Amino acid sequence: MNRAMAILQRRHRDYRAVFETDAGQRVLRDLHRFCVLSAPSADPNEAVFTMGMQRVFRRIVALSGTSDDVLVKFALSQQEDENDD
């Protein structure tokens, strides 16, 4: 196996190890709220910044192997949190 592939596999294992724990899932849920559910802005600079945050979140999700089911749960729980207000 080449070096680049070994590095990528180790990175995937590291992200999984961090985010598959209960604490990691709570952090991921918080990042989802902060990075993905940010209110859109008419300011182009703010919009680009928000897109950057979303890109970082997608990278974490991809490297951690987080399933779409988990992301759906995050979105649904956010809706429930909003309805509780």
Per-residue pLDDT in tens (0 to 9) along the chain, 85 residues: 699 999 999 999 999 999 999 999 999 999 998 998 878 889 999 999 999 999 999 999 999 998 888 888 888 887 666 555 4
Number of domains the chain is built from: 1
What is the pTM (predicted TM-score) of this model?
0.78
The whole domain housing 11 covers: 3-83
User: How far is the C-alpha of 36 from the C-alpha of 59, rounded, in Å?
Assistant: 12
Do 65 and 15 touch, CB atoms closer than 8 A? yes
Range 30-63 burial, b when 16+ CB lie within 10 A, else e:
ebbeebbeeeeeeeeeeeeebeeeeeebeebbeb
